[in-house]
Structure 1
Amino acid sequence: MIRKISSAFCALFLTFSGFAQEVEYTEYDLDNGLHVILHQDNTAPVVTVGVMYHVGAKNEVEGRTGFAHFFEHLLFEGTENIARGEWFNIVAANGGSNNANTTADRTYYYETFPSNNLELGLWMESERMVHPVINQIGVDTQNEVVKEEKRSRVDNAPYGKIIYGTGINHYMFKKHPYKNTVIGTMADLDAAQLDEFKAFFDKFYGPNNATLVVAGDIDTKDTKEMIKKYYAGIPRGPKVESINIKEESITSTIKAKEYDSNIQIPAKLYVYRTPAMNERDAYVLDMISSILTDGKSSRMYKTMVDDKKEALQVLAFPRSQEDYGMYVLGALAMGETPLETLGSSIDEEIKKLKTELISENEYQKLQNKFENNFVNSNSSVQGIASSLATYHTLYGDTDLINKEIEIYRGITREDIKKVANEYLNENQRLDLDYLPTPDSE
């Protein structure tokens, strides 16, 4: 079927004109369950081929955390027809670039090539899907790579436990696998046997658990023929059951302390459990985050950094996820400012959102900002490919790439007040003091 999405060029005028030029995309299913989305844009000779697998950290079993992220690395090792260590060389030699990323909910691989190498990109991703070589040499090699990534990004990075959730998740979730982190534990990966890695691949990396996106300088008819050639014969994998684990509501404040030997500046953090990413309230929380801390004109920055000079920096970000989200709100202390003082100031700003409507001027600035964010997210074929895959895989509605901005446009000042009252309550949060370890002070 044919859908419409907004052109990035004309969308630059959305704020003023209220509409944008539209381009077409097509989506369909192969008999083996592979969902295909094609976006044709012949303005530049570039094409992105991406495959999103509906598997992330939440699909791992207890005691084997980190598998999905591990496979983000392992599936670049090589295939039956791509020699070990040659994946990146092939891409670079053909003028391309590639990457992959993993969340709690999905894993995404992509290549961007000059458009005359479209078939190469399609072949390489089909090789990853059907012919990967999973052996002990590859597992041992990538185990060391992941360990180094964990050391550099989490263990030895200032505030790494907050950024990557190792200091938060287990407080917010007791039953759901979101209690674990995407990178997992090295003990779990060390203990895993080769057969377990092979079984994980067989369970989750079939075409029926994947979305293939091709965006850019293509001919839709020719591309369909190439996709049929390389993907139609791949056998369907086992059915992947959805995670359906319900958490009990948080009804009293969770008070905790976490220590980090990499920091000198303590932080006060409030963390709230929030709705799934496809619920309207999650979009409202995005806007609340922007009101509070997005830029030097935000409320918390002006009050706590500029006026009171009690915070060195402020932060607020929703961690959107498929089943539940988290909303992290906090500040880094300036000088000897007590964390209790930071907490009181944050609560004052939350109270204002709960009791007063934001001004019409602030509301219009907020709408303009989200219009601009929407344009930027789809300003390249690489961004469009990622968005198309995400909207289909995690939201179940590819056309959100066109409609999502309407959700933000429909959020009112009254909605912002209502959602603040529903979710940003003292008895529904983690109250976390994030401190330097005593030895580092």
Structure 2
Amino acid sequence: MKKRLIGAIALFWGFSSSIYAQKVEFTEYDLDNGLHVILHKDNSAPVVTVSVMYHVGSKNEVVGRTGFAHFFEHLLFEGSDNIKRGEFMKIVSQAGGQNNANTTQDRTYYYEVLPSNELETGLWLESERMFHPVINDIGVKTQNEVVKEEKRLRVDNQPYGRFAEEVFKRLFTNHPYHWQTIGSMADLDAAKLDEFKAFFKKFYAPNNACLIIAGDFETEKTKKLINAYFSAVPKGTAIMQPQVTEAPISKPIIDSVYDANIQLPAIITAYRVPGMKTRDSYVLNMISTILSEGGSSRLYKKMVDDKKNALQVGAFNYSLEDYGAYITYALPNNNTSLNDLLKDIDEEVKKIQNELVSERDFEKLRNIMENNFVSANKGVEGIANNLADAYTFHKNTNLINTEIDIYRSITREEIRDVAKKYLSPNQRVLLYYLPKSTQ
């Protein structure tokens, strides 16, 4: 039971780590149709990653038609004019590779990891997905059932599976972050085929995407292959990302949620904070590290080790493009009341707000960030994803190398001031996440 909330959090944590590894060499350029290409050459192993990130997520949907971006994560495996239905993944497997895709509120990411002599296969597959996928009633109906089963497995029947939904629909009232990436099954059922086709045409164009090749390849040969497979894809209309602002939260939003899939209650707080492109978001990441990263973190040591009143406790910055949600949570041990857990969490937050982190703890914190920086990029697939994130969200691909400098420049005073600015009890959602009898 103690691992279930963190498992549910992992399902919805739709962002990758924002701390990258040691210096990554790359080249980048644009095709005439607007496709941004990033090449990272690493000949240390005969493996190559081919990936495409589209700047489209659930925030690009509209009320009444939610779930489209996640739906296309599945639908674009159905096949194309040149790939028979159901053959996409078979081709990858037969080539000795693996592939997958994932969707967040802000982007959709597809990738293949292949033996380097199968690079052209990966380029062909991704160009087929972008150029002329088959979008028909058969595929829509099939993937509709797949998405429904995924929702049953990962949300409806998952312990604490609705925590993100319950938090976000209270934390956001105007912004499309109000709904979850998986969307509404009723919306998908009601959508017409022409609506799916229109969504694809608008968002899955080369000028709303970046192509990343990372691993073992010959640069000039790869550029020629990219041009051969992608240059003919027509450019789409320019995409304007949503610009929606939320009024500040000025008083606590307190509510209870009941879940028939759990036996232990949880206490959850969530604060609306700035998005990933802001300096304050980096500071909040450091605050999370102080509070709950590792066994010596403040919340874990106090509540799990010393007082033993919590089975599990944590804090993390759920960082998205436009906003973030700073979340704390705890599961009780020994029948501890949820309010007592909340009091202990708030005490530790107040310490950060009112006292400078000690020089010793600050040095430890910086060492953790440095260690994360060194270890984050352990494979070409991870590097490809991080390059895509840096370009898509920051339009600065070299952030993969320089982001650690932001953390190095953050001061103890900034940590205190950012905690004061955003982590006030008057600015949060407070949820009592409670068991519900199946009777």
TM-score range, shorter chain: over 0.9
Displaced runs of 4+ in structure 1, greater than 6 A? none
Q: How many residues align?
A: 421
State the shift of 1:336 in Å: 1.8
Return the TM-score normalized by structure 1.
0.93
Alignment of 1:15-164 (within 5 A): 22=23, 24-162=25-163
State the shift of 1:378 in Å: 1.4
State the shift of 1:439 in Å: 4.2
What are the superposed Cα offsets for residues 20-47 of structure 1, whole Å, 9 maximum, x if unpaired? xx55311111111101101111111111
Partner of 2:167: 168
State the shift of 1:219 in Å: 1.4
Distance change >3 Å, CA 24–CA 51, structure 1 → 2:
same
Tell me how far apart the structure 2 counterparts of residues 161 and 328 of structure 1 sit (CA, whole Å): 14
Give the alignment's Cα RMSD to 1 decimal.
1.3
Q: Which amino acid aligns with 1:48?
A: T
Tell me how far apart the structure 2 counterparts of residues 136 and 375 of structure 1 sit (CA, whole Å): 47
Unaligned runs of 5+ in 2: 1-18
Distance change >3 Å, CA 373–CA 145, structure 1 → 2:
same
- Matched residue SS, 2:345: helix
Percent sequence identity over aligned pairs: 61
- Matched residue SS, 1:201: helix
Partner of 2:180: 181
Indicate yes or no: 2:324 matched with 1:329: no
The answer as to whether partners of 1:32 and 1:208 remain within 8 angstroms in 2 is yes
Tell me how far apart the structure 2 counterparts of residues 58 and 362 of structure 1 sit (CA, whole Å): 38
The answer as to whether partners of 1:270 and 1:431 remain within 8 angstroms in 2 is yes
- Matched residue SS, 1:353: helix
Tell me how far apart the structure 2 counterparts of residues 178 and 233 of structure 1 sit (CA, whole Å): 35
Tell me how far apart the structure 2 counterparts of residues 356 and 7 of structure 1 sit (CA, whole Å): 29
Tell me how far apart the structure 1 counterparts of residues 345 and 24 of structure 2 sit (CA, whole Å): 44
Q: Which amino acid aligns with 2:327?
A: V
Alignment of 1:202-217 (within 5 A): 202-217=201-216
Tell me how far apart the structure 2 counterparts of residues 7 and 321 of structure 1 sit (CA, whole Å): 17
Alignment of 1:329-408 (within 5 A): 329-408=328-407
Indicate yes or no: 2:302 matched with 1:296: no
Tell me how far apart the structure 1 counterparts of residues 192 and 352 of structure 2 sit (CA, whole Å): 52
Q: Which amino acid aligns with 1:98?
A: N
State the shift of 1:7 in Å: 10
Q: Which amino acid aligns with 2:33?
A: N
State the shift of 1:356 in Å: 1.1
Q: Which amino acid aligns with 1:315?
A: G
Alignment of 1:190-201 (within 5 A): 190-201=189-200
Tell me how far apart the structure 2 counterparts of residues 126 and 434 of structure 1 sit (CA, whole Å): 45
Partner of 1:412: 411
Tell me how far apart the structure 1 counterparts of residues 151 and 193 of structure 2 sit (CA, whole Å): 21
Tell me how far apart the structure 1 counterparts of residues 50 and 135 of structure 2 sit (CA, whole Å): 23
- Matched residue SS, 1:125: helix
The answer as to whether partners of 1:312 and 1:332 remain within 8 angstroms in 2 is yes
Return the TM-score normalized by structure 2.
0.94
Alignment of 1:213-252 (within 5 A): 213-252=212-251
Distance change >3 Å, CA 393–CA 429, structure 1 → 2:
same
Tell me how far apart the structure 2 counterparts of residues 381 and 365 of structure 1 sit (CA, whole Å): 29
State the shift of 1:335 in Å: 2.9
Distance change >3 Å, CA 147–CA 23, structure 1 → 2:
closer
Tell me how far apart the structure 2 counterparts of residues 337 and 398 of structure 1 sit (CA, whole Å): 47
State the shift of 1:375 in Å: 2.3
- Matched residue SS, 1:203: helix
Tell me how far apart the structure 2 counterparts of residues 282 and 7 of structure 1 sit (CA, whole Å): 16
The answer as to whether partners of 1:7 and 1:23 remain within 8 angstroms in 2 is no
Tell me how far apart the structure 2 counterparts of residues 112 and 306 of structure 1 sit (CA, whole Å): 41
What are the superposed Cα offsets for residues 32-85 of structure 1, whole Å, 9 maximum, x if unpaired? 110110111111111100000000000001101110000000000111111100
Q: Which amino acid aligns with 2:299?
A: M
The answer as to whether partners of 2:20 and 2:386 remain within 8 angstroms in 1 is no
Tell me how far apart the structure 1 counterparts of residues 367 and 79 of structure 2 sit (CA, whole Å): 45
Indicate yes or no: 2:267 matched with 1:268: yes
Q: Which amino acid aligns with 2:83?
A: I
- Matched residue SS, 1:269: strand
Which deviates further from its counterpart, 90-99 or 375-384?
Answer: 375-384
State the shift of 1:117 in Å: 0.7
Q: Which amino acid aligns with 2:324?
A: G
Q: Which amino acid aligns with 1:114?
A: P
What are the superposed Cα offsets for residues 316-338 of structure 1, whole Å, 9 maximum, x if unpaired? 11111100110111211113211
Partner of 1:15: none
Unaligned runs of 5+ in 1: 1-5, 12-21
Partner of 1:259: 258
- Matched residue SS, 1:38: strand
State the shift of 1:373 in Å: 1.7
- Matched residue SS, 2:126: helix
Q: Which amino acid aligns with 2:110?
A: Y
State the shift of 1:377 in Å: 2.1
